[in-house]
Amino acid sequence: MSEVKIFAGSNSTDLAEKIAKNYGKKLGDVTLSKFSDGEMSPSYNESIRGCTVFIIQSTNQPSDNILELCLMIDAAKRASAYKVCAVIPYFGYARQDRKDRPRVSIAAKLIANMITSAGADRIMTCDLHAGQIQGFFDIPLDHLNGSAIFVPYLTQLNLPDMIFAAPDVGGVARARAYAKHFEVEMVVCDKHRKRANEIASMQLIGDVEGKDVILVDDLVDTAGTLCKAAQIIKEKGAKSVRAIVTHGVLSGKAYDNIENSVLEELVITNTIPLSQKSSKVRVLSVADLFAKAIHAVTGHTSISSLFI
């Protein structure tokens, strides 16, 4: 078995340190130099010849982070690494996974091609915006599920009248999976957009009177949809409204929207580093989940035990 080495991209240093610690390794030594114009030049400061290399980098604020990841993969391959696995806790551009209107890019496929062309032998990620993105890669992909983090947390809350809600029709399958696990009901918020990040209208399908509602989504960006859904649910008589969301992109007026919302709390993971703190945002760690997945991959064992 080849030696395992774990390295961090500049966007995921804190998470990578936690993953490496849980795995039982020190984080590898890599330097990212930049020219005056911003051109990046990564270099490994230790031998990786014949090693299985894991490069951890989320691609939020995506352009530089995606390019940095590709450069790190290329550098590892040229340094004679045995295998290179790109660990991408948050996969940017995943919202552009199809042509939903004329003359647009399928950006998720383009990014998949870039990472594969850079030389990645394997991908590891968590809660893709759309599951079919797995098919955009022609190399093995391990798609971890945030439910392994959220289910224990929700269980210890011990809410007496729990019910799950999808903030839009696209999230129905995700909310239904939680509802099935906890053997409770679910509701759906049906929204209509005029343009990206702007909601024209929203309606609630289902009864939430006297319920402790848990909104479920894969990512929260400006938090407009989430806060609007929470407001409507509360107006319909819900006792409390929380949200569990894997990826806290939290851009624009997200923090203000959350602070001024009726949400009891927004529970996210640390796939993306927070830009600021909020009294309503609780962060759970995915480090142990990824460390166990890396152990399974390097030990050639099943990762199915990591799924709930």
CA 173 to chain centre: 17
> What average pLDDT score do residues 131-141 get?
95
> What average pLDDT score do residues 188-208 get?
75
When mean pLDDT is compared across 145-159, 196-210, 230-244, the lowest value belongs to 196-210
pLDDT band at 170 (very low <50, low <70, confident <90, very high): confident
CA 83 to chain centre: 24
Asked if residue 169 and residue 78 are part of one domain, the reply reads: no
Asked if residue 196 and residue 162 are part of one domain, the reply reads: yes
Give the pLDDT confidence score for residue 63 in this predicted structure: 80
- Decide: 8 and 16 in contact? Cβ < 8 Å: yes
Give the pLDDT confidence score for residue 168 in this predicted structure: 87
Asked if residue 264 and residue 173 are part of one domain, the reply reads: yes
Asked if residue 276 and residue 174 are part of one domain, the reply reads: yes
- In the chain, what percentage of residues exceed pLDDT 90? 87
* Average pLDDT over the chain, rounded to an integer: 93
Asked if residue 159 and residue 107 are part of one domain, the reply reads: no
- Decide: 88 and 69 in contact? Cβ < 8 Å: yes
CATH number at residue 114: 3.40.50.2020
pLDDT over threshold 90, residue 190: no
pTM over 0.75: yes
191 belongs to the catalytic site: yes
CA 249 to chain centre: 9
| Owning domain of residue 48 | 4-144+287-306
Which of 18, 191, 228, 292 is catalytic? The answer is 191
**Which carries the bigger pLDDT value, residue 60 or residue 271?**
271
Asked if residue 115 and residue 24 are part of one domain, the reply reads: yes
> What average pLDDT score do residues 17-32 get?
96
Asked if residue 232 and residue 138 are part of one domain, the reply reads: no
> What average pLDDT score do residues 283-307 get?
94
pLDDT band at 1 (very low <50, low <70, confident <90, very high): confident
Asked if residue 55 and residue 94 are part of one domain, the reply reads: yes
| Burial of 259 per CB tally in 10 Å (0-12, 13-18, 19+) | middle
Distances (CA, A) of 285 to 69, 78, 183, 293: 22, 33, 26, 14
What does the alpha-carbon distance between residue 35 and residue 248 come to, in Å, rounded to a whole number?
31
Residue 258 tokens read as 């959350």
Give the pLDDT confidence score for residue 199 in this predicted structure: 54
What is the tally of structural domains in the chain?
A: 2
Distances (CA, A) of 176 to 18, 165, 179, 183, 184: 31, 8, 5, 10, 9
Element of type H or E holding 283: strand 281-284
Give the pLDDT confidence score for residue 307 in this predicted structure: 85
Asked if residue 237 and residue 223 are part of one domain, the reply reads: yes
Residue range 261-291, pLDDT digits in tens: 999 999 999 999 998 989 999 999 999 999 9
- Decide: 268 and 255 in contact? Cβ < 8 Å: no
Asked if residue 269 and residue 294 are part of one domain, the reply reads: no
Asked if residue 138 and residue 22 are part of one domain, the reply reads: yes
DSSP, collapsed to helix, strand or coil, labels residue 289 as helix
| Burial of 95 per CB tally in 10 Å (0-12, 13-18, 19+) | middle
Asked if residue 35 and residue 156 are part of one domain, the reply reads: no
